Structure 1
């Protein structure tokens, strides 16, 4: 039995708790930690957990009965809490974004390597059946060279969203929609296409003048082979429609799923290619359904790796790559220049202090409340 501690019992903790509770024969939640212990106690009662309540995660570091930890705190403390638990010999599943800077990512990776413990970064949307099927189709190479990818990370958040005490500041939230919403889609893009060589971006705060951070950004990635991708990150799009579209040499595929293929007439104009469409559709249909989706799927992957020593689908290295792309977007948008990758350790945007000193600030945070009464959130589409 793998004993689990949940650190941070805010809105996203529910997804972790429900994920672990789906595997009662494999794990047990034995501790809940929150700087507001009453909130942790209410969470434990709501889910009928027989768990101890703590206000300081450090009280668990020396507990031999704690085997693994889910970190669901605000982003600015992901790194120190993860590092402390890794050094204490605990496996760590940390919410996105992995950390506030690439320097912190590297420190987390070093702690995981030194302790020989697992570090997994939440990217639960990889564990969706349509996403897994799309990745499989891309891996077959049937669509040919990818020329262009379009990523729409569309979300909508009201003005009061940034009233929560840690949101809307570069220091505590670490960024706006690019970091905390589009992180899902940027992760999937780098998983499917690899890392680009250049990033050009712009960002703005269009509708939330109670936050320092952006509520809209648009970025273009350029790859070594000449391919381009464009990513729109937003919390101002009604409907929250989200999609990834890949235009290949021979066909177009996407989530939500759609396949379209053209071949050339003698004059270069398009001619439908139903044969290739049927072949790609068959490959898509034959790939098995995901047994456990979303957070539950990632927790299954995490528990399996803890128990059997297998590889994680999303480890710390994967989490760092995603953050490097987001950091490059912020650098490009803040300085008005194209950014070459990889980012070096002497880059001003490598450290948290450097980001805070150089990133574009939009407005001052106006309100600060400790907790919302409504704790129900949305965590992204199912891409169906």
Structure 2
């Protein structure tokens, strides 16, 4: 039995708890910690958990029976919490984004190497049937070389969203929609397509004058083979229609699922390639559905890795790559010009302090709400 602790009982914590509860024979939630202990207590009561309640996670870590910690707190807390948990001999599942800076990611990875513990970064959308199937279709090479990718991470959040005390600041949230919403799609993008070698980006704040950070960004990525990708990150798009489209030399596929293949006529105009479309469709249809989707799928992966001493699908290294892409977008959009990857300590956006110094501050955060009474969240589409 794997004993689990939860740090943070805010909006995302129920997703973790509900996922753990799907595996009662494999794990048990024995502790919940929150700087507002009443919230932790209410969460435990809501899910009928016989968990110890803590206000200070350092005190909680003295609980020697804890094997795995889920960190469900604001981004600026992730690094120190994860490092302290790992140094205390615990495995860690940390919510997205992995941390607020690449420097913090590197310190987290050093702790993992030193203690030989598992660090997994939440990217629950990988654990969806549609994403797993698309990944295998891309791996089949039936589409040919990818020549263009379109990532639409469209979300919508009202003005009051950034009133919450830690949101909307570079210090506490670490960024806006690019970091905290599009992180899901950027993770999928780099998992499926690999890392580009350069990024050029712009960003703006069009609708949230109570936030320092962006509410829309647009990035163009370039690969060594000439392939291009465009990534739009937004919390100003009504309808929250999200998609990833991969254009190959032979065919196009996407999530939501759609396939289209073309052959060239003698004059260069397109002719439907029904044979290839059928072949790709048959492959997609033949692939199995995942047993557990979303957070449950990732928690199953982490539990299995602990039980069998295996690697997780989304390691700290994978989490760092996703943040590296986002950091490059912020660096390019704030300072102008094209940013070459990979990023290292020489980047002017490597540390949290340098990000706060160099990032565009669109507005001053004037409103600070301690908590919302309604903890319900929506997550857009399943894509």
Q: Which residue of 2 aligns with 1:67?
A: 67
Number of the residue aligned with 1:274: 274
In the aligned structure 1, how far is the partner of 2:161 from the partner of 2:337?
Answer: 30
Which residue of structure 2 lines up, in the alignment, with residue 156 of structure 1? 156
Q: Structure 2: how far apart are the matches of 1:347 and 1:188?
A: 24
SS in 2 for 1:365: coil
Aligned twin of 1:259: 259
TM-score by length of 2: 0.99
Give the secondary-structure state (helix, strand or coil) at the position aligned to 2:18.
helix
Find the residue that maps to 2:239 and give its secondary structure.
Answer: coil
Counterparts of 1:318-337 in structure 2, within 5 Å, are 318-337=318-337
Quote the offset at 1:24 in angstroms: 0.4
User: Secondary structure of 1:244's partner?
Assistant: strand
- Give the whole-Å Cα distance in 1 for the aligned partners of 2:43 and 2:81: 21
Q: Distance in 2 between matches of 1:49 and 1:164?
A: 27
What is the Cα deviation at residue 343 of structure 1? 1.1
In structure 2, what is the equivalent of residue 165 of structure 1? Answer: 165
Contact kept in structure 1, 2:156 and 2:239, CA below 8 Å? yes
Hey, what's the Cα distance between the residues in 2 that align with 1:199 and 1:4?
39
The Cα shift of 1:379 comes to 2.5
> How far apart are 1:105 and its partner, in Å?
0.2
Distance across 2 between alignment mates of 1:280 and 1:374: 44
Runs of 4+ in 1 over 6 A off after TM superposition: none
Partner SS, residue 45 of structure 1: helix
**Which residue in 1 is equivalent to 2:246?**
246
For structure 1, which runs of at least 5 residues remain unmatched after alignment?
none
Structure 2 residues without counterparts, runs of 5 or longer: none
Residue matched to 1:221: 221
Does the aligned pair in 1 maintain the 2:331–2:348 contact within 8 Å? no
Partner residue in 2 for 1:313: 313
SS of structure 2 residue aligned to 1:152: strand
Whole-angstrom distance in 2 between the partners of 1:346 and 1:382:
37
Deviations, residues 138-195 of structure 1 (Å, cap 9, x unaligned): 0000000000000000000000000100000000000000000000000000000100
| Greater displacement, 49-58 / 340-349 | 340-349
Report the TM-score, using the length of structure 1 for normalisation: 0.99
Give the match's secondary structure for 2:149.
strand
Q: Which secondary structure state, in structure 1, belongs to the residue aligned with residue 353 of structure 2?
A: helix
Number of aligned residues: 383
Q: How does 1:1-384 map to 2 (within 5 A)?
A: 1-383=1-383
User: Please, which moves more after superposition, 6-15 or 339-348?
Assistant: 339-348
Residue 231 of structure 1 deviates from its aligned partner by: 0.3
* Matched-pair contact (CA < 8 Å) for 2:149–2:230: yes
Contact 2:33–2:60 at 8 Å: present in 1 too? Answer: no
CA contact (8 A) 2:175 2:213 kept: yes
**How many angstroms apart in 1 are the aligned matches of 2:357 and 2:196?**
26
Q: Alpha-carbon deviation of 1:305?
A: 0.5
Aligned counterparts of 1:206 and 1:252: Cα–Cα separation in 2: 33
Deviation at 1:382, TM superposition (A): 1.6
Q: Cα deviation per residue 1:51-76 (whole Å; 9 max; x = unaligned)?
A: 01000000122221000000000000
CA contact (8 A) 2:85 2:91 kept: yes
Structure 2 CA distance, aligned partners of 1:340 and 1:189?
Answer: 18
Q: Secondary structure at the match of 2:271?
A: strand
Q: How far does residue 21 in structure 1 lie from its aligned partner after superposition?
A: 0.4
Q: Distance in 2 between matches of 1:310 and 1:287?
A: 24
Alignment RMSD: 0.6
Structure 1: distance between partners of 2:112 and 2:54:
24
Per-residue CA distance 1:297-322 (angstroms, 9 max, x = gap) = 00000111011111111000000000
